Amino acid sequence: MKLFHVDASAKREWSNSRALSRHFIDLLKQQRPDVEVDYLDVSVDTPAHVDELFTIATYTPEADRTPAMKQALQASDALCARLLAADAYVFAMPMYNFSMPSSFKAFIDNIVRTNLTYKIGEDGSYVGQLADKVLFITTRGADLRPGTPFSAMDALTPALRAAFGFMGVAAPTFVDAQPLTFSAAEEREAALVRAKAELAAVAGEWAATR
Ligand SMILES: Cc1cc2nc3c(=O)[nH]c(=O)nc-3n(C[C@H](O)[C@H](O)[C@H](O)COP(=O)(O)O)c2cc1C
């Protein structure tokens, strides 16, 4: 199994999302020694923001691109190739201001590419090209679970679902650890215990598949 693993927390050794993604991959590797990991830390290797040349180049048919356009798309092409070479994905990130870290948004802006991560069928339909095995691990300071007063402010889950749904990921798995900051210590502990139990279940499911 080729796994593409992306971390996005600005925090390093104190990061909960990093610790949880490492924990998941350890659990998976214990059951599947064939797991190969391609790792990207977007808080360090942050993909470039979309600039004007990129916007023109990305919608110019490949055969018509100038050398400058090709150059503008080079890093994005390479990221898409890494994604398309994988058959499973783990994306770990904290919630920042109700949505994703801007480094992960820059990553998304680099990987949603016509004729690479999605294709357009003859009938005009969009056909996503990513493998449908995606785990999002998110960490949140507050508790935004359904039924809580803050649940309507969760702009992270729908944004991830939309972007990856467009690239063919119909049923991603979410493990959301919350509340991890703005709560009593027992609630934080319980949130981590819940997240680890959910990760163990996902690792077991993934280990049992091809
Ligand atoms: C800049 C910033 C913005 C944040 N915004 C939110 C937020 O909107 N909602 C929330 O629940 N927690 C928010 N938090 C808290 C983090 O999501 C939380 O501490 C999380 O566990 C951090 O994950 P990490 O340890 O992997 O960095 C924010 C933290 C930072 C640093």
d(CA 141, CA 127): 36
Predicted local confidence at residue 70, as pLDDT: 98
Atom of ligand 1 nearest to the CA of 20: 26
Query: What is residue 120's predicted lDDT score, i.e. its pLDDT?
Result: 96
Token output for 139: 């960490």
Give average pLDDT by consecutive 10-residue segment, the chain, 210 residues: 98 96 98 97 98 98 97 98 98 98 98 98 96 97 96 98 98 98 95 98 94
For residue 155, the domain's CATH number is: 3.40.50.360
- So what's the pLDDT on residue 13? 86
Specify the pLDDT at position 75. Answer: 98
DSSP structural state of residue 169: -
Tokens representing 28?
A: 């998976």
Binding residues: 9, 15-17, 95-98
Q: Using most ligand atoms within 8 A of CB, pick from 23, 93, 96 the residue to mutate for ligand 1.
A: 96
How many domains does the chain contain in total? 1
**CA of residue 97 to ligand 1 center, whole Å:** 7
Q: What is the reported pLDDT for 182?
A: 86
For residue 145, the enclosing domain spans 2-207
- Quote the pLDDT of residue 101: 98
8 A C-beta contact, residue 25 and residue 3: yes
pLDDT value at position 93? 98
